[in-house]
Amino acid sequence: MAAGDRPFLRFDSVTRQFGETTAVAGVTLDIRQGSFVALVGASGSGKSTLLKTVNRLIEPTAGTVLLEGKDVAGSQPSRLRRRIGYVFQGVGLFPHMTVAENIAIVPRLEGEKIGHGAIARLLELVELEPALARRRPDELSGGQRQRVGVARALAGNAHLLLMDEPFGALDPITRDALGRRVRDLHQELDLTTIMVTHDMAEALLLADRILVMDAGMIVADATPAQLLAGQGGKIAQALVAVPREQAQALADLTR
Ligand code: ADP
Ligand code: MG
């Protein structure tokens, strides 16, 4: 295969067992550079586990994950996490550190410092005032905290952005605004983005490819347009039915 055809990220028969539980069951998948992929599925379907095999927060029990053709198992976890932005489920900012210190933490793992100017630019990317750099997480709103989480994920000049239910705890308006900001950043910074969500509406609105997971397997791999046209199979369609029925109910109200 020529280098240009090489997938940016490849999961090759990735399996992860936790005792008797098979969290991820032989996932094989290629992700193209520049794509915005949503990983959707019910709670416990294996989304977080699959995502975490990319930055080695979880090691597969079988199979390999290749980033730009190289097995991630051969890379230092700290170096890998410097290159791969990761937005945690539930934010995960350190409460005793300022916003600036929280943002600087990933580069620091690799012995690098990032200055005030860089912090200010990162805050600007996520549309936060530079003055917020000196605050602690408990002095921020939920939406501001999540924006800091995104700024931190981008602090290492990552080209790959992994997000685990990043907007789950936010009110709908903040969630919508932040979702659109992340979509714009994806474009501006030429990122490859994988976003875990249980919200099919969010996936349909933000992603250009939707993977549906069920019991550790990818059961659908389709574009939003294909899913909206009824493709992708039963499990995917059951998820699409939720926002569709809500939209229909709203439309009926105005008739
Ligand atoms: P999702 O993110 O889709 O909700 P997860 O990947 O977190 O799903 O979990 C998939 C399955 O693996 C679940 O049955 C979960 O209970 C199990 N699991 C995840 N992490 C662990 C762990 N550290 N120890 C034991 N079981 C786990
Ligand atoms: Mg999860």
**pLDDT tens, N- to C-terminus, the chain (255 residues):** 445 567 999 999 999 999 999 999 999 999 999 999 999 999 999 999 999 999 999 999 999 999 999 999 999 998 888 889 999 877 789 999 999 999 998 878 777 888 889 999 999 999 999 999 999 999 999 899 999 999 999 998 899 999 999 887 788 888 899 999 999 999 999 999 999 998 999 999 999 999 999 999 999 999 999 999 999 999 999 999 988 898 899 899 988
Is residue 51 assigned to a domain?
yes
- Closest-lying ligand 1 atom to the alpha carbon of residue 50: 6
Is residue 132 assigned to a domain?
yes
Nearest in space to 23 (alpha carbons), one of 239, 232, 213, 234:
213
Q: Where does 85-221 have alpha helices with state H? A: 99-109, 116-125, 142-154, 172-188, 200-206
- Closest-lying ligand 1 atom to the alpha carbon of residue 43: 4
C-alpha of residue 165 to centroid of ligand 1, in Å: 14
Is residue 4 assigned to a domain?
no
**Measuring from atom 1 of ligand 1, which residue has the nearest CA?**
44
**Residue 249 belongs to a domain with what CATH number?**
3.40.50.300
- Closest-lying ligand 1 atom to the alpha carbon of residue 58: 23
pTM of the full predicted structure? 0.93
* 3-state SS assignment for residue 144: helix
Ion ligand 2 — residues with CB under 5 Å? 48
| Total number of domains constituting the chain | 1
Is residue 77 assigned to a domain?
yes
Nearest in space to 85 (alpha carbons), one of 227, 219, 201, 194:
194
Nearest-ligand number for the alpha carbon of 23: 1
